[in-house]
Amino acid sequence: MKCLFPAVMAAVGFGITLLATGCDALAVSDYGYVKGQTRAYSRLVCEKKIGDAGEFHDSRMVWQKLNGAKLSGKPAVDGFLASVSSIQGMDTFYVYVHSHEKLDDQRIIMDVTMQAHCVVNSMTMVYDNTIWRAKMLWVRTGKATWKIGAIAETSARVKTDPPKDVKPL
């Protein structure tokens, strides 16, 4: 029994540390959960499972492309996902979170960069990226359920390098 005490105390201390730091390994906060959901969403878009990715969107979602019309509901969900999946040569999709703010118990907004990594020519190993900034609003839709409530693109979609100051989810 004496030998187990230090191991048990170490495990308890580690658990307390994880809870205190909000480690992404355990979604102990709303933001930790939303960040994990953003990572899963990005993976589905990357795998071209657009129907599954659509399940992450709230049915009342609003999407606005920079200087474009504001769409809401199913047209917004379908329009955004179609705009991403139609990017020529996209083989990987990433979301970079620059900052986040919990507006209230029902909403978290994230300032993100979205990146579509594209294969221009696989034979000569030529690649490029379509990059754009956006505000991504997550809304609580149930006791422990969050969905994408809005995506407002804040920059044009351009061919450039991804951000270097933050890692993708």
Whether 47 is in a domain gets the answer yes
Average pLDDT, the chain: 87
Asked if 156 and 130 touch (Cβ cutoff 8 Å), the reply is no
Whether 111 is in a domain gets the answer yes
State the total domains in the chain.
1
Q: What is the CATH number of the domain that holds 58?
A: 3.10.450.50
pLDDT above 50 for 18: no
Structural domain span for residue 81: 29-159
pLDDT recorded at residue 2:
55
Whether 155 is in a domain gets the answer yes
Q: Using DSSP, state whether 105 is helix, strand or coil.
A: coil
pLDDT above 50 for 17: no
> How does pLDDT run across 42-66, given as a tens digit for each residue?
999 999 999 999 999 999 999 999 9
Whether 89 is in a domain gets the answer yes
pLDDT above 50 for 23: no
Whether 98 is in a domain gets the answer yes
CA distance 93 to 45: 6
Whether 130 is in a domain gets the answer yes
Whether 8 is in a domain gets the answer no
> How does pLDDT run across 107-134, given as a tens digit for each residue?
999 999 999 999 887 778 788 999 999 9
Whether 84 is in a domain gets the answer yes
Task: Give the start-end residues of each E strand in 122-159.
Answer: 126-142, 145-153, 158-159
Instruction: Please give the average per-residue pLDDT across 141-160, as a whole number.
Output: 95
Per-position DSSP letters for 66-102, written without gaps between them: TTS-EEESHHHHHHHHHHHHTSTTEEEEEEEEEEEEE
